[in-house]
Amino acid sequence: DAGVTQSPTHLIKTRGQQVTLRCSPKSGHDTVSWYQQALGQGPQFIFQYYEEEERQRGNFPDRFSGHQFPNYSSELNVNALLLGDSALYLCASSVAPGRDEKLFFGSGTQLSVL
Amino acid sequence: GDSVTQMEGPVTLSEEAFLTINCTYTATGYPSLFWYVQYPGEGLQLLLKATKADDKGSNKGFEATYRKETTSFHLEKGSVQVSDSAVYFCALSGNQGGKLIFGQGTELSVKP
- What does the H/E/C string look like for A13-39? ECCCCCEEEEEECCCCCCEEEEEEECC
Q: State whether A43 and B99 contact (CB < 8 Å).
A: no
The pLDDT tens digits of the residues spanning B15-43 come to 999 999 999 999 988 899 999 999 988 88
- Chain B residues contacting A, CB < 8 Å? 4, 31-32, 36, 41-46, 49, 51, 89, 91, 93-105
**Residue A112 to chain B, least CA–CA distance (Å):** 17
Residues of chain B with pLDDT under 70: 96-97
Q: Give me the pLDDT at residue A65, please.
A: 97
Please state the rounded mean pLDDT for residues A18-30.
96
Q: What is the pLDDT of residue B96?
A: 67
Looking at the complex, report in whole angstroms how far the Cα of residue B81 sits from the nearest Cα belonging to chain A: 23
Question: Among candidates A80, A30, A18, A88, which has minimal Cα distance to B40?
Answer: A88
- Which chain A residue is nearest to residue B90, measuring alpha carbons? A42
Q: What was the pLDDT predicted at B40?
A: 86
Q: Report whether pLDDT(A70) > 90.
A: yes
Chain A residue closest to B50 (CA)?
Answer: A100
Using a CB-CB cut-off of 8 Å, the residues of chain B touching A35 are 100
What is the pLDDT at residue A114?
96
- Looking at every residue in chain A, the average pLDDT score rounds to 94
- Predicted local distance difference test score (pLDDT) of residue A81: 98
Residue A70 to residue A25: CA distance in whole angstroms: 12
Residues in Cβ contact with A108 at an 8 Å cutoff, skipping those fewer than 6 apart:
A6, A9, A37, A88, A89, A90, A91, B43
Q: Determine which of B95, B100, B104, B106 to mutate to test the interface with A (most A C-beta atoms within 10 Å).
A: B100
Q: Tell me the chain A residues in contact with residue B103 when contact means C-beta distances shorter than 8 Å.
A: 42
Average pLDDT over residues A5-12: 96
